[in-house]
Chain A
Amino acid sequence: MSNPILDVQDISKAFGGVVALNRVSFRLHKGEVLGVIGPNGSGKTTVVNCVTGFIRVSSGKILFRGRNITNKPAHKIADMGITRTFQIMRPYYSLPAYKNLVVPLFSPRARRTGGWGGGGKLGDRETVGIDILEDIGFERDSYIPYKLASTLSTGYLKRLELARCLSLNPEVVLCDEIFSGLSMSEIASMVPLIERLQDEGVTVIMIEHRLRELFRVADRVMVLNFGEKLTEGTPEEVMANSAVQEAYFGSEDILEGLDYA
């Protein structure tokens, strides 16, 4: 296979004495979808924060297209095309939804690349913003794209997070639990979006607790536990792995200790 687009080598992160990540490595090729699962506090979001430059790694190396991007400022990494969503949504609450996209469309990268579907030329920012919103499931002719972000529901805010990534015309998107807090039907409408990203050659890292949906879209799944990488493989391999089952459901003898009868 060709060179990996993202090559994470042995990254570690310690907050004081707490080791959040311990020598985690993974590689991603263009157009792949990597799922990241693990119990709460296992370091999933820390991986996203380290790769996107929101926190500095203690040791290790992150390569993007062979270039070292370890500990670069977050805005420079985003400018290269590695974008992220936030687990706790971060919209601009005082702005309408479409204006929320005018901000990333104002960025140097969007101006260079023309934004999502712009074909290298950036049109009127507000129009492009509404186009992206429509693409991602905001009904264009309704009032929803014009609503203040503070009045949008969780489902739309999660889409807005993804829309912000798209408006930068990304190469890698790191989705931090974009399905959490959504209803089953909302999730069902989001899954095709991820599949579309994959079709367009965008590389995706998805942190998710909704295993069923994740396994549908992910090519490979990485499992973290207490900041260490337990295993990595296809969804089927991961499900069959006993260490994963132990991390998620507890070990056999604990289960045996419980008396359900």
Chain B
Amino acid sequence: MNRGHEYRKERLDRGIKVRSDGLYSLMSWRELSYLTLPRLILICGLLLLPVIVPGMYWQRVISIVCIYALLALSFDFLAYHLGLVCLGGAFFLGTGGYITAVLNATFGLPPVLSIPIAAIAGGLICTLLLLPCIPLRGVYFAIVTLMYPLFFDRLIVALDVLGGTDGIMGIESFPGSQAQYYVPILLVLVCLFGMRRLVNTDMGLMFRAVRDNDQAVRASGININIYKAIGVFIASAMGCLSGACLVHIYMWAGISLLALDFSILPIAATVIGGSGTLVGPVLGCFILVPISELLRAFGTLRIVFYALILVAFIVVRSEGLMVYAQRKYHQFERWVKV
């Protein structure tokens, strides 16, 4: 078909999207389901996952996916709602993991206490340690945060603290296997909808403004470092939460918590899932982690296939799956004569 220069693609919001933005959505089942159905599918799908997947092995994989999803959510929030590209996911995860390990193994606190304490205290510690880097922007912040997990990894080994290379053992697992499967899933859901809410508040608007133009925010008489610090606290608390859960699943905390995987995979998931959508990174984790598990059959060639799939995703759908899906859901396209 030769369209030449005479036609161009036009995108328009679907009528139902415009209608369901307002009060009208409460008066029609169609509009109501248009709004709630995607959310219901997400919630029910996630809650049913432990029931439908075959066997304990895959149930455990789902839990690990949720750990990664929390990290990806924290990366996506920092990068696309605050403009801070943070490559230190492993730092957050490690901090949360070690805190919960010490609280549980040394002081005997049950997981129900140690996990929330690790999230809050870990968030505070991470924010304090990152405070000197908070005025940095762009690639500088990325490089510095990449160094943090490497730094603490070496420090733990060199000083032989926190169990050194052996790690901390004898950590309680979740009480019951159901808790182990459902706690991470519920945490993902709570964080996901919580973040959605947060980015639409006034605070979220300030975060967006800092990302778009931090100098203009300064010129408005607002201290940008405070907002950046709040954002880093929220993201790192989420990362620490994921680390705390992981430690109670593994019943062990060691320097592998500070491994590069935990920094890089959430970023890949964000790219695949669609950056800035918040739900995209979660979806990305649910695609990438199981693929990585399935590819175990290929032995050492696993990483080659994994990389190929990753490249294929990025080349074919560089905008990300969720960005594409949301566009198709909310808009229709047509060719119009120029």
Contacts and interface: CB of A to CB of B under 8 A. Distances in A.
Are these two chains actual partners, yes or no? yes
B192 to A, nearest CB: 21
Given A78-B218, A106-B205, A106-B206, A90 B213 contact: yes
- The dominant DSSP class at the B interface is helix
Given A95-B208, A95-B209, A103-B209, A74 B216 contact: no
Given A92-B212, A92-B213, A104 B205 contact: no
Given A94-B208, A99-B205, A102-B205, A108 B221 contact: yes
Interface string A84-126: 1010001111110001001110111110000000000000010
Interface residues of B, number: 18
A79 interface: yes
B161 interface: no
Interface in B215-255: 215-224
A90 B208 contact: no
B21 interface: no
Most A-side CB within 10 Å, residue of B206, B209, B220: B220
A54 interface: yes
A106 B218 CA distance: 12
B202 interface: yes
A226 B138 CA distance: 33
Given A75-B224, A106-B202, A92 B219 contact: no
Question: Which one of B211, B215, B219 has the highest number of Cβ atoms from chain A below 10 Å of its Cβ?
Answer: B219
Nearest to A85: B219
Given A54-B215, A86-B215, A90-B213, A104 B208 contact: no
B213 A78 contact: no
Nearest to B217: A103
A74 B211 CA distance: 18
A164 interface: yes
B215 A90 contact: yes
Contacts of A102: 202, 205
Contacts of B211: 94
A104 to B, nearest CB: 4
Contacts of A203: none
Contacts of A168: 220-221
Given A103-B205, A103-B217, A106-B202, A75 B222 contact: yes
A93 B212 contact: yes
Contacts of A167: 220
Contacts of A107: 220-222
A115 to B, nearest CB: 11
Contacts of A108: 221-222
B244 to A, nearest CB: 34
Contacts, number: 80
Interface residues of A, number: 30
Given A75-B223, A75-B224, A91-B213, A103 B218 contact: no
A83 B222 CA distance: 12
A52 interface: yes
A75 B216 contact: no
Given A90-B213, A95-B212, A52 B205 contact: no
Nearest to B218: A74
Contacts of B212: 91-95
Given A94-B212, A95-B209, A95-B212, A103 B220 contact: yes
Given A94-B208, A106-B205, A78 B216 contact: no
B221 to A, nearest CB: 4
Contacts of A93: 212-213
Contacts of A125: 202
Contact of A109 (B208, B209, B221): B221
A104 B222 CA distance: 8
A86 B219 contact: yes
Given A99-B205, A102-B205, A106-B206, A79 B221 contact: yes
Contacts of A164: 216, 219-220
Contact of A86 (B205, B208, B216, B222): B216
A235 B171 CA distance: 79
Nearest to B223: A75
A119 to B, nearest CB: 19
A109 B224 CA distance: 15
Contacts of A106: 202, 205-206, 222
Interface of A: 52, 54, 73-76, 78-79, 83-84, 86, 90-95, 99, 102-104, 106-110, 125, 164, 167-168
Closest 6 pairs between A and B when the two form their complex, measured CB to CB: A78-B221, A104-B220, A92-B212, A90-B216, A79-B221, A107-B221
Interface of B: 202, 205-206, 208-209, 211-213, 215-224
